[in-house]
C-alpha cells in the first residue's frame, strides 16, 4: 500500500542538454541519471523550492519540471504517471537489437 | 537597442507608426505592424527612406513576406530594417528577403552579420538579393558545356 | 587522384556540386549552432527551432533525429549508410515513418552534427524534417514503376525540394507545411490529407498538369483538402506554390497553435476566398523568375529516367510451381507483389510488420540485408512507403522466389501488406514527448492476435492505424479502423473510429464509434469489429465497404457487448 497518495511528493527532473538523457536533481543539487538518488520534496512548498533549485542548476539540462511520485511501504519511490514511469524505466517493449535479423 | 548594417550606415530618421504616417505621408520613415498592408505604400516608395518591419517574436515570419513584397513588387530601395525578435541565425533569411539593417541586442550579432554571406555559397530559390540560383547556374553551365 | 565523391546509380537524382555544397554548409552552420547552445550562448527557446529544422527533436529519453528520404527513394548505398549511422550514433535500429522519413531514437546532441555530416556523405540530409517550414515532400512509393502512372511525381518532388530548401520567406510559417505529389489516378500518396496535395493528370488535350489541393490534413482538426486549381500547367508549379505559401504566411493564424495550419485558414475564409487570394498573388508572379524553363525540367526528369530493365520472361514455371506448392508464397504473391509497368517485372513490398514487431522498425542488419537484396534483384533501389514498409520497385518475376526467401530470412516476407496486421503506428508514449498513450504495444498485441496468415487473407484488406495522441502521426483518422490513444486521469484509453480512407475519390475521415476502451480491451474490440464484418459481408466486400453499407450500429453493439 502506498503511504502518500496526496500527490504532494515530488522530484525534479529534466533531460540532459548534451545527450537528452533523463536526469533527476539529487540532495547535493547535482543532476543524476539514477532516479533512486533524486531529492524528494514532501509537500507543495518543498516542491516549489526544489523546482527553484533545479532551475538555478539548469545550465546543462533542459526545462526542469516536477514529477509527482508515490512512496511504498519500503520507502521506495515511483512516479505516478505512466509517462514518467517510462522516462524512469525505459521502453515497455523490447526494441529490436542492432544485429537482429528478426524481431522476437 | 543596438542597430547593425553590413555597410555600417543607417538612417537616423524617426519612423512613424503606420497609422500616424498615413496622416503625414510625406514623412520618409514608417514603421509597419505585420497586419499593416504593405501594398498601400506603393504610391510612396520612391520617397520613403526607411521602412521598419517588426518581428513580434523571432518565430513569427510574416515580415519576411512583407519585405519581399516591398523590395520585389513595390521596388522599394531605401533602408529596410528588422526590429523585435531579431537573432543572428535568422540573418541568412533576412538578407535574402531584402532587409539591410537590424535592431538586435543579441551578443555577437555584429560579428555574425559580417560572416553571414559566407555561410551558404548556393541558393535554390530566387529572392530579393539577386543571387543566381543553382538552377540558373546549371542552365548557363549547360549552355557553355552542352550536355554530354 | 581518386574521385572520392559519392555517386548514385544512373537512374537516381545525382547531387551536383551545388547540392553538395548547400547540404555540407548547412551541416557546418548547425555544428556552430550546437556549439553555441552547449556553450550557453543560445537559450533552449532560441535553439529549438534551429535544431528542429535540422530534424532534431527532444523526446522522452534522448534526442531523435528525423532523416528525410526525399520522395521515399533510396539507393542501396544510402540504406547501408543509414544502417551504419544507426549503429555508430544510435542503438542500431531505426523507425520508418508515415512521411517517408527514418527516425533514430537515441541520438546525442553532441553527435548530431557528425551524424548529419555522415548523411551528407551519401547526399542525404535532415533539413526541414521538423519545424514550422515546408517539410520533406512525399510521393507515391511506386513512382517510376507503377502501371497506372501518368508521370513520375519524383521529378516534381525534387523541384519542390530544391525550391523549399532554406526558403528565406517560408522558414517561419505559422505551422508545419506538408506537400505530397502523386502521378497516378490511384493515389498512394494521400494527397487529399496534406497541406498541399498535387495530382498529375492529363486533360482532354493530352497536356499533363497538376490538380492543386489545399488545406487537407489530419491532426486535431482532420479535413479533406479543397481543389484550388483543377489544372495547373507544370512549368507554373513553383509560382503557384509560392503564391499559396505567401498567402498562408501572411494570413494564417498565429494566435493559437492548434488553429495555425493552412486548413484552418481555408476553412475560416472559405475555399472561394482562398482561391481568389492565391490566384491574385499567382497572377503577379507567374511570369517571373519562378517559371520553370523546359530545359530545367528536362534536366531533372532525365535523372529519373527508368533504369534499363533487361527483357525477362513474364511467365515463369518455377514461380507457378512454387505458388501451388507453398501456400505462404502464394499468399505473399497476392498481398505483397504488385504489377510493374514492364512485363516480366513486379513491385515487391518488404513488410516491416512481422507478427508482434514494432511497426516500421528495422535493425541495422535488416537494413543492410534489404540493401543487399536490392542490389541483387532490384537495380539497387529501395522505396519507403507511407505505410511504413520498404519497397523493391523493379524485381523480375523470375527472381520472385529468391527475393521471397531472402526477405524471409530478414523477417520481412510476412504476406500481410494491406491486411489487418499491416498496422501503421506512431512511436507513441514509449518514445514521444507529445504522446498521451502507447501505440506500439497495442499494435503488437493486435498483430499477434491476428498473426495467422490464412485468416488475415480471409479478412481481406483492412487498414488499422494507431496514434498515441491527437497529432495523428499514426493517421488514425484515415484508418478503416482508427485507434487513438488518450489519457484519462493517468489511464490509457483507446478511442475507436471506423470508415476512414485515403483512396482518391473516397478519402474520408473515420467516425468515432463510441466510448474509448481500456488498453487490455483493444484486441477484443478489434476482434468484435472483425466478426461483425465477417458475419455481415457480402461477396467481395472489404471491411470498409461493409461498414459503409450497414453503418456503425451493428459494429457498435458487438464491440460494447464484448468489452
A and C touching (3 or more beta-carbon pairs closer than 8 Å): yes
A94 occurs within a structural domain: no
User: Residue C221: what pLDDT?
Assistant: 93
Distance CA A86, CA C435 (A): 12
Query: Which one, of C401, C277, C295, lies nearest residue C348 by Cα?
Result: C401
Neighbouring subunits of B (3+ Cβ pairs under 8 A):
C
Q: What is the signed CA dihedral for C393, C399, C405, C408, rounded to 10 degrees?
A: 10
User: Residue C462: what pLDDT?
Assistant: 98
Query: Does the beta carbon of A99 lie under 8 angstroms from any beta carbon of chain C?
Result: yes
Chain B residue whose CA is closest to C15: B134
Domain span holding position A60: 10-89
A20 occurs within a structural domain: yes
Per DSSP, the residues of C387-451 read TS-EEEEEEEGGGHHHHHHHHHHTT---S-TTSTT--EE--GGGT-SS-SS-SHHHHHHHHHHT-
- The SS3 call for residue C503 is coil
A67 occurs within a structural domain: yes
Residue pointed to by grid coordinates 520613415? B29
A102 occurs within a structural domain: no
The structural domains of chain B, with segments of one domain joined by +, span: 3-120
A95 occurs within a structural domain: no
User: Residue B141: what pLDDT?
Assistant: 86
The pLDDT-based confidence of C504 (bands split at 50, 70, 90) is: confident
User: Residue C10: what pLDDT?
Assistant: 82
Residue pointed to by grid coordinates 466486400? C541
Question: Which whole number is the average pLDDT over C476-489?
Answer: 96
Question: Which whole number is the average pLDDT over C302-310?
Answer: 93
User: Residue C261: what pLDDT?
Assistant: 98
- B3-120 CATH: 3.20.20.70
User: Would you say residue A3 has pLDDT above 90?
Assistant: no
Q: Are C347 and C340 in contact (CB under 8 A)?
A: yes
* Contact partners, residue B130, CB within 8 Å, separation at least 6: none
Per residue in C346-375, pLDDT tens?
999 999 999 999 999 999 999 999 999 999
User: Would you say residue C423 has pLDDT above 50?
Assistant: yes
Q: How far is CA C91 from the centre of its chain?
A: 23
DSSP state of C306: P
Distance CA C490, CA C487 (A): 6
Q: Do B62 and C169 touch (CB under 8 A)?
A: no
The pLDDT-based confidence of B146 (bands split at 50, 70, 90) is: low
Q: What percent of chain B has pLDDT over 90?
A: 92
The pLDDT-based confidence of C470 (bands split at 50, 70, 90) is: very high
Which residues in chain C are contacts of A59 at CB distance < 8 A?
40
A3 occurs within a structural domain: no
Query: Does the beta carbon of A1 lie under 8 angstroms from any beta carbon of chain C?
Result: no
Per residue in C33-88, pLDDT tens?
999 999 999 999 999 999 999 999 999 999 999 999 999 999 999 999 999 999 99
User: Residue C6: what pLDDT?
Assistant: 84
- Domains of chain C listed by start with CATH number: 17-120 (3.30.70), 145-302 (3.30.413.10), 317-409 (3.90.480.20), 424-562 (3.30.413.10)
Distance CA C362, CA C385 (A): 14
- Tally of domains in chain A: 1
User: Residue B95: what pLDDT?
Assistant: 98
User: Would you say residue C2 has pLDDT above 90?
Assistant: no
Q: Do C37 and A17 touch (CB under 8 A)?
A: yes
Mutate to test the interface with B, among C30, C41, C168, C250 (most CBs of B within 10 A): C168
Neighbouring subunits of A (3+ Cβ pairs under 8 A):
C
Q: Is B142 left (phi over 0), alpha (psi -120 to 50) or beta?
A: alpha
Q: Do B137 and C25 touch (CB under 8 A)?
A: no
Which residues in chain A are contacts of C38 at CB distance < 8 A?
17-18
CB count within 10 Å of CB C448 equals 13
Which residues in chain B are contacts of C288 at CB distance < 8 A?
126
Amino acid at each position: 500500500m502506498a503511504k502518500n497518495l496526496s500527490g504532494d511528493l515530488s522530484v525534479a527532473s529534466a533531460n540532459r542538454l548534451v545527450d537528452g538523457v533523463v536526469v533527476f536533481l539529487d540532495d547535493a543539487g547535482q543532476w543524476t541519471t539514477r532516479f533512486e538518488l533524486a531529492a524528494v520534496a514532501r509537500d507543495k512548498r518543498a516542491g516549489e523550492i526544489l523546482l527553484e533549485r533545479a532551475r538555478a542548476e539548469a545550465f546543462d539540462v533542459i526545462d526542469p519540471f516536477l514529477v509527482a511520485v508515490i512512496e511504498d511501504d519500503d520507502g521506495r519511490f515511483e512516479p505516478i504517471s505512466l509517462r514518467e514511469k517510462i522516462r524512469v524505466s525505459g521502453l515497455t517493449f523490447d526494441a529490436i537489437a542492432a544485429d537482429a535479423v528478426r524481431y522476437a | 537597442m543596438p542597430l547593425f548594417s553590413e555597410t555600417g550606415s543607417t538612417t537616423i530618421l524617426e519612423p512613424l507608426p503606420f497609422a500616424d504616417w498615413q496622416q503625414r505621408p510625406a514623412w520618409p520613415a514608417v514603421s509597419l505592424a505585420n497586419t499593416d498592408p504593405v501594398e498601400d505604400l506603393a504610391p510612396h516608395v520612391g520617397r520613403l527612406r526607411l521602412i521598419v518591419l517588426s518581428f513580434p517574436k523571432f518565430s513569427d515570419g510574416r515580415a519576411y513576406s512583407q519585405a519581399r513584397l516591398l523590395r520585389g513588387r513595390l521596388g522599394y530601395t531605401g533602408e529596410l530594417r528588422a526590429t523585435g525578435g531579431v537573432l543572428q541565425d535568422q540573418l541568412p533569411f533576412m538578407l535574402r528577403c531584402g532587409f539591410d539593417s537590424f535592431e538586435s541586442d543579441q551578443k555577437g550579432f555584429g560579428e555574425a552579420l559580417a560572416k553571414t554571406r559566407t555561410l551558404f555559397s548556393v541558393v535554390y530559390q530566387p529572392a530579393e538579393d539577386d543571387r543566381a540560383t543553382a538552377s540558373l547556374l546549371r542552365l548557363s553551365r549547360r549552355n557553355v558545356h552542352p550536355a554530354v | 587522384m581518386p574521385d572520392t565523391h559519392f555517386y548514385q546509380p544512373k537512374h537516381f537524382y545525382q547531387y551536383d556540386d551545388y547540392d553538395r555544397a548547400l547540404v555540407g554548409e548547412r551541416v557546418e552552420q548547425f555544428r556552430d549552432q550546437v556549439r553555441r547552445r552547449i556553450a550557453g550562448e543560445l537559450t533552449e527557446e532560441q535553439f529549438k527551432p534551429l535544431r528542429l529544422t535540422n530534424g532534431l527533436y527532444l523526446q522522452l529519453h534522448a534526442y531523435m533525429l528525423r532523416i528525410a528520404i526525399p520522395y521515399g527513394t533510396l539507393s542501396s548505398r544510402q540504406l547501408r549508410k543509414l544502417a551504419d549511422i544507426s549503429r555508430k550514433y544510435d542503438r542500431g535500429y531505426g523507425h520508418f515513418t508515415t512521411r517517408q522519413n527514418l527516425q533514430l531514437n537515441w541520438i546525442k546532441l553532441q553527435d548530431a552534427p557528425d551524424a548529419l555530416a555522415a548523411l551528407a556523405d551519401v547526399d542525404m540530409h535532415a533539413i526541414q524534417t521538423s519545424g514550422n517550414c515546408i517539410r520533406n515532400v512525399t510521393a507515391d512509393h511506386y513512382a517510376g514503376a507503377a502501371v497506372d502512372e501518368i508521370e513520375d511525381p519524383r521529378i516534381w518532388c525534387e523541384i519542390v525540394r530544391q525550391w523549399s530548401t532554406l526558403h528565406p520567406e517560408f522558414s517561419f510559417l505559422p505551422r508545419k507545411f506538408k506537400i505530397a505529389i502523386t502521378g497516378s489516378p490511384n493515389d498512394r500518396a494521400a494527397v487529399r490529407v496534406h497541406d498541399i496535395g498535387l495530382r498529375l493528370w492529363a486533360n482532354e488535350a493530352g497536356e499533363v498538369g497538376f490538380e492543386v489541393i489545399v488545406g487537407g490534413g489530419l491532426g486535431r482538426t482532420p479535413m479533406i483538402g479543397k481543389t484550388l486549381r483543377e489544372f495547373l500547367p507544370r512549368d507554373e508549379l513553383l509560382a503557384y506554390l509560392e503564391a499559396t505559401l505567401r498567402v498562408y504566411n501572411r494570413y494564417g493564424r498565429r494566435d493559437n497553435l492548434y488553429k495555425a495550419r493552412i486548413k484552418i485558414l481555408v476553412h475560416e475564409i472559405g475555399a472561394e476566398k482562398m482561391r481568389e487570394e492565391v490566384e491574385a498573388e499567382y497572377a503577379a508572379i507567374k511570369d517571373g523568375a519562378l517559371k520553370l524553363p523546359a530545359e530545367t525540367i528536362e534536366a531533372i526528369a532525365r535523372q529519373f529516367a527508368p533504369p534499363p530493365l533487361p527483357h525477362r520472361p513474364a511467365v515463369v514455371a518455377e514461380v507457378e510451381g512454387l505458388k501451388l506448392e507453398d501456400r505462404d508464397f502464394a499468399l505473399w504473391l497476392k498481398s505483397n507483389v504488385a504489377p510493374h509497368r514492364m512485363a516480366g517485372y513486379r513491385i515487391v513490398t518488404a513488410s516491416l510488420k512481422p507478427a508482434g514487431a514494432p511497426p516500421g522498425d528495422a535493425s541495422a542488419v535488416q537494413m543492410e540485408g534489404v540493401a543487399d537484396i536490392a542490389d541483387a534483384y532490384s537495380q539497387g533501389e529501395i522505396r519507403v512507403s507511407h505505410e511504413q514498409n520498404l519497397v523493391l520497385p523493379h524485381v523480375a518475376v523470375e527472381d520472385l522466389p529468391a527475393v521471397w526467401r531472402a526477405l524471409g530470412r530478414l523477417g520481412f516476407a510476412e504476406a500481410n501488406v494491406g491486411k489487418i496486421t499491416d498496422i501503421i503506428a506512431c512511436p507513441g508514449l514509449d518514445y514521444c514527448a507529445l504522446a498521451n498513450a502507447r501505440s506500439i504495444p497495442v499494435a503488437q498485441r493486435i498483430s499477434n492476435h491476428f498473426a495467422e496468415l490464412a485468416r488475415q487473407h480471409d479478412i481481406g484488406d483492412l487498414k488499422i492505424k494507431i496514434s498515441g495522441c491527437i497529432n495523428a502521426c499514426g493517421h488514425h483518422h484515415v484508418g478503416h479502423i482508427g485507434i487513438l490513444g488518450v489519457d484519462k486521469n493517468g489511464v490509457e484509453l483507446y478511442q475507436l473510429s471506423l470508415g476512414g480512407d485515403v483512396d482518391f475519390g473516397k478519402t474520408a475521415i473515420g467516425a468515432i464509434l463510441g466510448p474509448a476502451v481500456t488498453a487490455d480491451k483493444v484486441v477484443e474490440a478489434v476482434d468484435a469489429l472483425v466478426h461483425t464484418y465477417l458475419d455481415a459481408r457480402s461477396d467481395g466486400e472489404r471491411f470498409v465497404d461493409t461498414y459503409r453499407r450497414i453503418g456503425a450500429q451493428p459494429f457498435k453493439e458487438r464491440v460494447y457487448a464484448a468489452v
